[in-house]
């Protein structure tokens, strides 16, 4: 019951006061699945892109983090081809930084920040990571290309 009321409160807040560049709504599949969109940030290779995400709320939420994945393909060192995201707040301790005090809005903001500032030292995609580290121009070109191909409306 706590979980349901917390989720309703979070979704209501996400609807009335969404973080800048993020929209979120409940999926028609029920309370356990949420859809979100993140707009690519200005001055990033993802600028003007609209990226769709799926958020699955676990049974033990908020004691377990939601599973968030990109449905829109994105060229990024910390996001793999299945849309999985390598981000410490999406994992439980000791390897992760998830805490029950975090919420979906904060997580989506963290994902948005990761898009703008990749972490090449903790990659899911080693080849993209080394490109980001050693050939930034090529990385930016490829990321822009993918954004135009997959995230343009």
Catalogue the active-site residues: 86
Beta bridge partners of 63: none
β-pair type (22-26, 50-56) = unpaired
Backbone φ and ψ of 149, nearest 5°: -75, -40
Rounded CA separation 29/57 (Å): 12
Rounded CA separation 108/40 (Å): 13
Asked, as a colleague might, if the bond just before 46 is cis with ω within 30 of 0, I would say: no
What DSSP designation does 65 have?
P
């Amino acid at each position: 019951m706590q979980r349901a009321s917390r989720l309703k409160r979070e979704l209501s807040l996400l609807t009335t006061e969404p973080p800048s560049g993020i929209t979120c709504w409940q999926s028609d599949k029920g309370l356990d699945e949420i859809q979100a969109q993140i707009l690519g940030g200005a001055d990033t290779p993802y600028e003007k892109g609209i990226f769709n995400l799926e958020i699955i709320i676990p049974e033990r939420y908020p004691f377990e983090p939601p599973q968030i994945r990109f449905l829109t393909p994105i060229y990024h060192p910390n996001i793999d081809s299945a849309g999985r995201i390598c981000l410490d707040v999406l994992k439980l301790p000791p390897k992760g930084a998830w805490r029950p005090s975090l919420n979906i809005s904060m997580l989506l903001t963290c994902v948005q920040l990761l898009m703008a500032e990749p972490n090449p030292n903790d990659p899911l995609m080693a080849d993209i990571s080394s490109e980001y580290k050693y050939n930034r121009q090529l990385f930016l070109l490829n990321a822009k290309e993918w954004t135009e191909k997959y995230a343009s409306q």
